[in-house]
Amino acid sequence: MKIISYNVNGIRSATSKNFLGWLQATNADMVCLQEVKALPEQLAEILELISQMGYHHYWHPAEKKGYSGVAILTKIKPNHVEVGCGEEWIDREGRILRADFDDFSLMSLYMPSGSSGDERQTKKYEFMRFFEGYVAGLREQIPNLIISGDYNICHTAMDIHNPKSNANSSGFLPEERAWMQLFLDNGFIDTFRHFNKDPHHYTWWSFRANSRAKNLGWRIDYHLATAPLLNRLKSVRILPDAVHSDHCPVLLELV
């Protein structure tokens, strides 16, 4: 089974760069999208093509147009789809969507960024505190859980191109990194690092200073899986050659 997570930075923009052709070629079973930046009613032609590929598709857009939003595309029909998390401000921003299957559940997550200033960084910390408790409760009912998406956090110095100059940057702050470590310590596997311990693997690059060509990036997109799924993990690959966004996809394979 192949599961892709991809912050597309606007599904319509990505589609103009042949995202749908790329998607069909991947033949992924499930795809978690983040930052779709569109309402389903704005995507009639795109959704028709996605349906023709054999995908059921589920959307949780933000109330604000052209902002945030997550989706799940899946060739296996879920038993249940949970839209949102019940926290009003988070649900208005379209950040959490979950699909439940027979043997595991898959969540598409788009965590807030704090890079625009102190106010949004405060909201990011609020999200992190909420999400930690939310997931703890969820795991009591769903022990086999994969949370795929854009966490907007680099966990370690290995996950960012210049840790010293970014020591005070949102996404690499000590509080954020400690939160990620605690999340992992509480029973989640960073599936990419389970297979690959090498540096210089990134999933996001600034549009500035030719950063992508120079591979001056950040690894902020993850598939985190609960420990009971360990024996099902087959491989994880970052796919930097997909260039529909300032992020790139991450591919998880399960047995």
Q: Catalytic amino acids?
A: 150
HSE toward the beta carbon, residue 96, CA cutoff 13 A: 20
Measured distance CA(167)–CA(201) in Å, rounded: 19
Measured distance CA(58)–CA(95) in Å, rounded: 13
Closest CA relative to residue 53, chosen from 36, 28, 81: 28
Neighbours of 91 (CB within 10 A): 16
- Assign residue 196 a region (left: φ > 0; alpha: ψ between -120 and 50; beta: otherwise): beta
Element holding 221 (H helix, E strand): strand 221-226
Measured distance CA(162)–CA(202) in Å, rounded: 12
Q: Going by DSSP bridges, is the β-strand pair 250-254/2-7 parallel, antiparallel, or unpaired?
A: antiparallel
